[in-house]
Chains A and B, each alone.
Chain A
Amino acid sequence: MTEKNRIHVMDEADVRRAIGRMAREIVEKNGGTEALTLMGIHRRGVHISKLLREEIERAEGVSISSGSLDITLYRDDLMVIGPRPVIGETKLPPEGVDDRKIVIVDDVLYTGRTTRAALNELTDWGRPSRISLCVVVDRGGRELPIQPDIVGREVPVLRNQRVEVLVPELDDRLGVEIIHLESEEA
């Protein structure tokens, strides 16, 4: 990878504050925690979802249902880019998705194609009563009419820059950084 430099956007305290606010917004916008289910998108969304869940459980004193999604098999570009390893675990919450208030959790919202795939996968499983979208970073650049309901921070970046949300499980720290790519890969 042709990384030139990393620009620091949010440190651990920033991310924790954002998570705290997002957790409160999730509860507020869903009218409490009744029938609430968090679905993290593999990979980093799953870890963000866990942080949000811990935050909500601490604040509300209840246990929150959660699951995870790997959307590889729902991508619209598989025949273009070739098969990718399906490594993520797709875990349906034990209650299923029917009549649940599902919050899709991801790290970065960009083109909206991942969200589109996640929506298709969720609706294949059943009929949630509501689906909302919660992301740590909205970097702009949408290619589909999809908008987030809850955002940690808006970080407009160029096409040749990549936004990385770092999580302790995979990156040994919590934070958000922008990477400037020399090539057109973005």
Chain B
Amino acid sequence: MNPSVSPLGKDLVGLESLSREQILSILDTAEPFKEISERRIKKVPVLRGKTIVNLFFEASTRTRVSFEFAEKRLSADTVNISSSGSSVVKGETLVDTARNLEAMRIDMVVMRHGASGAARFLGERIPSNVINAGDGQHEHPTQGLLDLLTIRDHKGPIDGLKVCIVGDVLHSRVARSNIHGLMKLGAEVAVCGPPTLLPYEIAGLGVKVFTRVEEAIEWADVLNILRLQLERMQGGYVPSLREYNRIWGVTSARLKVAPREILILHPGPMNRGVEIDSDVADGPHSVILNQVTNGVAVRMAVLYLLAGGQPESAEAAKQGGDS
């Protein structure tokens, strides 16, 4: 009678391993969750009694707070652990940390970690649901999902849209999740940035490559502008911030000549005046704060769908978790 939701499995590691139907099912589930955050009492009891650990081995404000709001608005009990001030700095391994948490009977782990593949590694070893909140240069699936939701809110169905990811694609897990998600939903995807910051053979993923930001602006319906990680300066990837802005920066002067209105996304935190100019970031086509609002709804949807329980896969993880 009821249309069923596509199950996500035990963990959310990345968008690469999800089907188009699973991604759409998350986005559709996120829609009604938006409304809960607009209520005077922003809470529903659906995850009551669930214990969730937010395990952050890398600095994060937006993502951690967003997850925490999502968890609390679904009535879960949450604990935050960041690497500084935890046993991690005393040399404990990831699996030992997680097993100790398991021993306290938790239900889910939301983890950010500097190593690519850390989320899958952990998910295969503990029975709790694992949600990847960013692992190294691999994926940041909930960011990808909130970008998709925000684009869909403003441009309608993703199919056929031209989306260009601008900036440091090489080091960006946001870029990877975006590329997988967008392509599964039928968008045309391009990347644009200094050749030093584009992965080798990126075109193999089926994306267009622009080396001039003007070309990207002429082509795109949507620009997702990545943060230039300032520590890349030391790596010699770009000559200087000023030069980066002059060549790659998305400025209102460049957008003025665009043949159509371009939707502007940025995962934050922004370097104003480097990859994006203030008048673009605060301009009429910027949906950067909508992304933040949608982030809570998307994470509520992911938590809700995963919590539905896949006892057999959790059981399997428990059996096979001996390494």
Contacts and interface: CB of A to CB of B under 8 A. Distances in A.
Q: Do A and B come from one complex?
A: yes
A89 interface: yes
Interface residues of B, number: 26
Interface string A123-138: 0111000000000000
Interface stretch (B42-50, B96-104, B162-170): B42-50
Interface in B122-152: none
A79 B308 contact: yes
Contacts of B32: 70, 86-90
User: Chain A: interface residue count, which band?
Assistant: 20 to 34
Contacts of B41: 124-126
Contact of A84 (B2, B28, B35, B44): B2
Nearest to A74: B45
A94 interface: no
A125 B46 contact: no
Contacts of B35: 89-90
A73 B45 contact: yes
A79 B307 contact: yes
B283 interface: no
A85 interface: yes
Contacts, number: 62
Nearest to B5: A85
Nearest to B74: A73
Interface string B264-288: 0000000000000000000000000
Majority secondary structure of chain A interface residues (helix, strand, loop or mixed)? loop
B179 to A, nearest CB: 27
Contacts of A126: 40-41
A90 B37 CA distance: 12
B308 A92 contact: no
Contacts of B309: 79, 82
Contacts of B74: 73
B2 A85 contact: yes
Interface in A66-111: 70, 72-75, 78-79, 82-90, 92, 96
B73 to A, nearest CB: 10
B39 A85 contact: no
Contacts of A70: 32
Contacts of A121: 44
13 contacts: A73-B44, A74-B44, A74-B46, A78-B46, A78-B308, A82-B5, A83-B308, A85-B29, A86-B29, A86-B33, A89-B35, A90-B35, A126-B40
Given A79-B308, A121-B44, 16 more contacts: A1-B1, A73-B304, A74-B44, A74-B45, A74-B46, A82-B309, A83-B5, A84-B5, A85-B28, A86-B29, A86-B32, A86-B33, A88-B32, A90-B32, A124-B44, A125-B40
Interface of B: 1-5, 7, 25, 28-29, 32-33, 35-36, 39-41, 43-46, 74, 304-305, 307-309
Interface of A: 1, 70, 72-75, 78-79, 82-90, 92, 96, 120-121, 124-126
